[in-house]
Chain A
């Protein structure tokens, strides 16, 4: 122990410096999913584009005949923002309750997913971010389609 421990200490110090330098020079953190969607403004734009697509889709448009679209816009935006970790609170009904009695079939579900995919293209959401939102929505299939 009395022997000069200096080589080891020196090595440790160099290692620490390297690690510190490595951390400091790490690339800026990857944007969160919410940021990739453009934050509140981006999600708002997406909800608009989505509703435009739904309105043009004969397989789903009739289901929304009696829906308050302003409220739907607010709820779908909050839901997406919440799922993306944007910190919004979703105050709408749960997915089973919101869709029960509509007899949604797989064809309509596919149609709505495709409308959403096209809406995400319309507002230039990057492919990877699109896939991540779809990943979170896909399991809701069982809540809506019997």
Chain B
């Protein structure tokens, strides 16, 4: 399954028009990393940046694979994103969560679209604002429904603002992102959508990233989560990370993630590792 997805992604990425519009004109790291729901962003939260390095009239793309491993959970994600003109982004990601103590696997697909509205990440006072959609479809809805989820699919709508501040702290560059999201998803959708407590919520997400130099970054992310289910608790997620942007083709992010309580399993802390390839 995973193999066919990765093959599909590679074919897609290679099908991107090459040479004349071979996209690489944006500055290193400005496409962000690959969040678990795909597109351009941090590890657990989307940013206003457009995935890849495409600037005016250019196409860019990224493919990624991420593994999050906590005491009882294993989340595997793989996905692809396309960016055009540093304005439009389309993305696709597959998530698969193994809940070890219960012998369960929960999977969903995430289709994303994002458009940059106004502002500029690097050069203007006005931060870059983008509006995004993520349509999520669960593939194993029986368990989420048992827990009280009312739907097996849902659409997130989010507004993100991103800004890089040059020489902001000890002459180092500082990146900030804030995202506000309207979502029906429980545990990003892996526990279905909606529930007895509520059908939809507005949540806040924030990322702070410090650039040690042009290639190495360190950061912190926070993601507020809704509480639609009554059978199991849902908590905010956080992580601290180190990212390395080798060049405009390869980036690696490693993090320590705190997912708190997920699916009735308390204190889920562990590692996050993500590999991103950009063309």
Contact = CB atoms under 8 A, between A and B. Distances in A.
Contact of A138 (B58, B166, B172): B166
Contact of A131 (B55, B56, B120, B171): B171
A128 interface: yes
B167 interface: yes
Interface residues of A, number: 21
Nearest to B122: A138
A114 B27 contact: yes
Interface in A46-96: 59
Contacts of B214: 117, 127
Nearest to A59: B25
Interface in A106-146: 106-107, 109-111, 113-114, 117, 127-129, 131-132, 134-135, 138-139, 141-142
For the residues of B in contact with A, the DSSP-based class is loop
B267 to A, nearest CB: 38
A107 B58 contact: yes
Most chain A C-beta atoms within 10 Å of own C-beta, residue among B122, B123, B173, B214? B123
Given A128-B172, A131-B173, A109 B167 contact: no
Contacts of A129: 171
24 contacts: A105-B56, A106-B56, A106-B120, A107-B55, A107-B56, A107-B57, A111-B25, A113-B27, A114-B25, A114-B27, A117-B27, A117-B214, A127-B171, A127-B172, A127-B213, A129-B171, A131-B172, A131-B173, A132-B166, A132-B171, A135-B166, A135-B167, A138-B122, A142-B124
A131 B210 CA distance: 13
Interface of A: 59, 105-107, 109-111, 113-114, 117, 127-129, 131-132, 134-135, 138-139, 141-142
Nearest to B57: A107
A138 B27 CA distance: 13
A138 B25 contact: no
Contacts of B86: 106
Interface string B109-127: 0000000000010111100
Contacts of A114: 25, 27
